[in-house]
Amino acid sequence: MKTLTTPRPSAVAAPVPVTPRRRRRPARSAAVWILVGPYTVFLVVFGLAPAGYALWTSFVDKGSFTGGRDWTTVFEDYRLADAAANVATYLLLWLPILLLTVLSLAFTLHARPGRTTSALQLIYYLPGAVTGSAAALLWLFMVSPDSSPFSPLLKLMDIQSATEALSGGSVIAVLTVMGVAVHAGGWIVVLYGALNALPKDVLEAAQVDGASAWRTMWHVKLPMVRTYVAFVLISSFASGSQVFVEPTVLSTGAPGQISPTWSVNQLAYTYATQDGDFGKAAALSLAMLAVGVLAAWIVITRTRMYATDSSDSR
Amino acid sequence: MKRWRAASLTAAAALALVLSGCGGTGGGADGGSGGGKGELLVWVDNTRMPAAQQYKKAHPDLKMRIVTIPPDAGYVPTKISLANRTKSGWPDVVFLANPAEAATLASEKFGYAAPLDDLVPKSVRDGFTPGSLDTCTFGGKTYCLRNDIAPTVLWYDATLMKRYGYQVPKTWAEYQRTGLKAAEEHPGTIVGAVNGKYGAGIYFGSSGCATRDTLSLTEVHIDLGQANCTRVADLLQPLAREKAVTTVVPIDPGFAKFGKGDQILMLPAPAWFGDFMFGPAFKVPKGRIAAAPMPTWSGESKPYAGQVGGGAFLVSAHAGERTKEAADLVRWMTTDVTLQAEQPTYPAFTAAAKKWGEAKSKDPYYAADPMPALTAAASALRPGFGAVRFEADWQSSFNDTLVKAIDSGGNLRSALGSWQDKLEAAAKTSGYTVG
């Protein structure tokens, strides 16, 4: 970075003519507020204020200070370790598979443009069009050999009923497949869009230099879309670590197979709704928020997500 | 500076908006139930809706609002928990499709269920099937009235029994022998299902194993080391090895394959399985299914029944001046013989159950009149099987230990130790002292 040593203006120096800049400032400032304002209000109303209220709830009960009681009770809860292990296993399985699927399909689409590309894009996106509880219900049918279109495959895996498909460790496998199917499509569209926006001359230069499709992907395209990949990672980590709807809905199809406190989020929900203990629910939710923020910070710093092109080029 | 002031003003306004939303009672002036509008607010499931409407019609002077709620486990505590938070919106009367939730709603933390001892005369309470109000009673106080009960009986396929030349077992030892014989002679045949509440409530419940004996709202007795628990493990161990009992939960659509394939020889199950599972779900043709009392455990002379299901009505502790009206509605809904005689499942009120059984006795679906066995089971509910706040954990911990052991060919007696640990942890986390 270049640094210029400018002479310090003397006290008697004539004031710098700044009038034209001052004239622009109110308009620019208004534009900034219009653009950032709604987000700031949403952040405060639905992000910071609830988090602050949760912090208050985790320390104050019926007007009296409870100290760290709720926090210690939560961390001593025998269900937390199981729930955290379930979520961690799910993330370890789901995140790499999702990322690999999204990257490979988006790069393949981009490397071989043609008439089929848009059709394929739609096909990839379709499973992701059904999300949330509807997706979980759909998958409940998918894992029930009597109603599933994949029943021969299920039978091949010796799964005779939804009970078997959703009991024990198989829940994680089902959730992983379901998670990839539900989320991959949307991310493929995002990443494909990012790839399409890459400067053509750079890609042509790589081609002229004799770079293979693989080298172009690995050394040219991937570094240029790394911020998008980081975004996929952060968002997916957040949604994966807060997995709630999927195990909740799947458990309605085969009651008793999936614990109501299977995931950490479900445990927090159980505190609030089944135990009537909002203090513990708030403490656990904040702990999860801390994990999410920490993970996001690691990804952002490691991938230099917010580094601008100009700072990159220095 | 100006910018900061504007930003802090926006933030303060937003925060005030949020906090006012969080802290507001949002209800009427009395902050009580019924939305503070002076009306009797009633929450019932779809099945109970016509009865509630009938009551409303019969009481034109009563301002009453009926709301349909889903029968899902956990729904009512969730809504009550939120009403507790906002200090308004409690229903005056609520129907529980899962009576174990009475333990949650009566607990100090929720403080929702009102004791009914002074609101419903003892003569009325005495009219309920003996033991049926045990799930509503904590520390000597009755917090709910049962609408229906789900005593277990030994359902069996009379046609298959005859075809195979077997006798309906009267003891659990005979049940085990018959099961093993059937598995050997007719592979694929099952004599029971062991999963979640369908395993824990049927086998362990009928044996009197202390998996959830409620002593009060804060004390529970759990002791799986006793003989009445180990005998269940010993009963199931060889049956599980020969696959004479399945770990597929009976409400799984996949269970129908046993029915369609003529593979259900026997199935110890609740009373409502007769009408709602064998025909509609398992597709067993009419004229085949019959009911016998549950087998008798060794050393006992009476065939005790377990329990899986049933519903209950609660009155709100926040009902205030509407308490009497709320209690009257609950009393009518649970004890009116004409109304109860037409309800789908076994009524908890003895006189109503008798009337209800008249139609059941003539039902052509059954191979023989199921009422003698059902009536005997209703009056032989194993005492001690109480409502607990850790019902969901009770089911999932059973699957995590016993069912897992069955599936993996493990030792069921050792699995009892793991189940004990999990049950104790669940009970303590729910605020119980374990005795």
Q: What pLDDT is stored for residue B56 in this prediction? A: 95
Nearest 5°: the CA angle B374, B376, B377 is 65
Question: Given CB atoms, is A160 within the 8 Å cutoff of chain B?
Answer: yes
Q: Is A148 strand, coil or helix?
A: coil
Give the separation between CA A102 and CA A124, rounded to whole angstroms.
Answer: 10
* Residue A131 pLDDT exceeds 80: no
Tell me what pLDDT residue B7 has.
Answer: 44
Q: What confidence score (pLDDT) does residue A107 get?
A: 87
Cα–Cα distance for residue pair B19/B13, rounded to 1 Å: 10
Q: According to the model, what pLDDT value does residue A124 have?
A: 75
With CA atoms as reference, report the closest residue to B164 among B193, B188, B186: B186
- Report the pLDDT value the prediction gives residue A24, as an integer from 0 to 100: 56
pLDDT of residue B4: 44
pLDDT, position A151: 81
Asked whether the whole model's pTM tops 0.90, one would answer: no
Query: What's the pLDDT at B5?
Result: 47
Q: Which residues contact B350 (CB under 8 A, 6 or more apart)?
A: B127, B128, B129
Contacts of A256 in chain B (CB under 8 A): 195-197, 249, 395-396, 398-399
Summarize pLDDT for A287-309 with one digit per residue, the tens.
Answer: 999 998 998 888 888 877 776 55
User: Is residue B164 within 8 Å of B182, Cβ to Cβ?
Assistant: yes
Distance CA B428, CA B225 (A): 19
**Res A163: pLDDT:** 83
| Cβ of residue B311 closer than 8 Å to a chain A Cβ | no
**B147 Cα to chain A: minimum distance (Å):** 23
Please say if the pLDDT value at position A256 is more than 90: no
- pLDDT band of residue A132 (cuts 50, 70, 90) is low
Interface contact A45-B399, CB threshold 8 A: no
Chain B residue nearest residue A76, CA to CA = B429
Per-chain mean pLDDT for chain A: 82
The pLDDT tens digits of the residues spanning B224-234 come to 999 999 999 99
A189-231 pLDDT, tens digit per residue, is 888 888 888 888 888 888 888 888 888 888 888 888 888 888 8
The pLDDT of A122-146, averaged and rounded, is: 74
* CB-nearest partner of B14 from A44, A254, A257: A44
Give pLDDT, residue B361.
Answer: 94
Residue A45 CB neighbours (<10 A): 17
Between B18, B73, B403, which is nearest A45 by CB? Answer: B18
Q: Which of B72-76, B140-144, B202-206 has the lowest mean pLDDT?
A: B72-76
CB contact, 8 Å: B241 with chain A?
no
Q: C-alpha distances in angstroms, A162 versus A165, A170, A252, B189? A: 5, 11, 11, 20
Q: Is residue B157 scored above 90 in pLDDT?
A: yes
A147 with B253: Cβ contact below 8 A: yes
Q: What is the pLDDT of residues A140-160, one digit of tens each?
A: 778 888 778 888 888 877 787
Q: What pLDDT digit, counting tens, does each position of B340-383 carry?
A: 999 999 999 999 999 999 999 999 999 999 999 999 999 999 99
Q: Please report the pLDDT score of residue A309 as a whole number.
A: 53
pLDDT the model gives residue B53: 95
Residue B217 has pLDDT above 90, yes or no: yes
Phi, psi of B128 (to 5 degrees): -80, 155
Q: pLDDT at residue A44 above 90?
A: yes
Band (B2; pLDDT cuts 50, 70, 90): very low
Average pLDDT score, chain B: 90
